[in-house]
Structure 1
Amino acid sequence: MKTRRIDREKIERADREAKLLLEAERHAREAKTARLREQRQLLEASTARTPPAPAAVKPPPRQRKPTRKVIEVD
């Protein structure tokens, strides 16, 4: 039976490329997280300084008209 030839250099190169890709994705994710965290902190700081807006006054619920009774005559 013939043994399969394994190209170790190709496997090592693929491993290196995969690690580089994962590292780049991790850096991009961390940068996005930091940017979103900074935005959230700025938003929280700005809302903490401003007084809360007054609650909207809801109009009272409308009164329903009484239903008419139907009287059937035979």
Structure 2
Amino acid sequence: MKTRRIDREKIERADRESKLLLEAERHAREAKTARLREQRQLLEASIARTPPASSAAVKPPPRQRKPTRKVIEVD
């Protein structure tokens, strides 16, 4: 039986390309994480700077009741 010919250059090339792709994905993930962290820190800083709202302003408005339905009896 004939042994299969292994193209080592093809395998090495595929390994290089996959490593480059994984590296690019890792850089993109790290950049996104840094951007989101910066946004979160800016938001937290802006919340810390604003004065606390009064308790009356925080309460939701009272809910209004729905009008009751009229019952019509049919004989």
TM-score (norm 2): 0.72
Q: State the identity as a percent.
A: 97
Deviation at 1:7, TM superposition (A): 0.1
Residues in 1 aligned to 2:25 and 2:50: alpha-carbon distance in whole angstroms: 38
**CA separation of 1:5 and 1:31: change in aligned 2, threshold 3 A:** same
Per residue, is there more helix in 1 or in 2? 2
**CA separation of 1:21 and 1:73: change in aligned 2, threshold 3 A:** closer
Q: How large is the Cα RMSD of the aligned pairs?
A: 3.5
Computing the radius of gyration from Cα coordinates, the structure with the larger value is: 1
- Paired residue total: 73
Residues in 1 aligned to 2:61 and 2:69: alpha-carbon distance in whole angstroms: 24
Give the gaps of 5 or more residues in structure 2: none
Deviation at 1:52, TM superposition (A): 2.6
- Greater CA drift, 61-70 or 10-19: 61-70
Residues in 1 aligned to 2:60 and 2:31: alpha-carbon distance in whole angstroms: 47
**CA separation of 1:12 and 1:73: change in aligned 2, threshold 3 A:** closer
Deviation at 1:31, TM superposition (A): 0.2
Residues in 2 aligned to 1:62 and 1:69: alpha-carbon distance in whole angstroms: 21
